[in-house]
Structure 1
């Protein structure tokens, strides 16, 4: 049986579409909704890691279905649906007051921190 996890976020002014430039309205931006989703999956996945590892997002397919006002509480639920070697797949849903505002399929991979960072060219 795969794991599931829920995390709660509150929409800040700095996370609105207007503030980040992804739109012109003071509502939760799509980039921040995606960040909430990735953070929830990352937290769920953390129990699978040893001290030398971390996880990185490698793919996300997302639908942003409804607007969310400033200061609203967003509940993000991630459920692991597959594991293939070091790649984990999650189904994620975001809700505000029981209304589905977004959903995604997200893949994360386990990587060795030092080896991963060594790939960065100065």
Structure 2
């Protein structure tokens, strides 16, 4: 199955104290934290690709460029939507438009890119890196 431009994904949550800027250390106030908004945007993109992958494949984020433009207080629902805007020849790299919302409107926008990987090869690369690091210590 081929990934198509226009494919969409969505992820949502309710803002709790655990997903605030003060909880993650990216700010000192208790509003929805930018790192969590970014994670939600990546999650929306990831969910849109899952139907196209077999059990040996996964995706990893390779680039994200976003603006977080409005605060969201604890208790409000937030969600992110993704839309595929480009698929490279061979289908390995996928570009997305991402937008985050709360119940009052848009809170963030940007672009995101993911790469399709073979899970076993990717995990071997990580394990090899760890072994090299341990050997160098």
TM-score for both structures, normalised by structure 1: 0.95
2:59 equivalent among 55, 61, 66:
55
Give the equivalent residue in structure 2 for 1:104. 110
Question: 5+ unaligned residues in a row in structure 2: which ranges?
Answer: 131-137
If each structure's helix is expressed as a fraction of its own residues, which one has the higher value? 2
Runs of at least 4 residues of structure 1 off by over 6 A?
Answer: none
Q: Which residue of 2 aligns with 1:79?
A: 83
Partner residue of 1:88?
Answer: 94
Give how far 1:116 is off: 0.4
Unaligned runs of 5+ in 1: none
The SS at the match of 2:46 is helix
- SS of corresponding position for 1:44: helix
Residue 117 of structure 1 is aligned with which of 97, 108, 123? 123
Q: Distance in 2 between matches of 1:82 and 1:72?
A: 32
User: How large is the Cα RMSD of the aligned pairs?
Assistant: 1.1
- Bigger Cα Rg: 2
More strand by share: 1
How far is 1:99 from its partner?
1.2
Q: In the TM superposition, what is the alpha-carbon distance from 1:98 to its structure 2 partner?
A: 4.3
**How many residue pairs were aligned?**
122
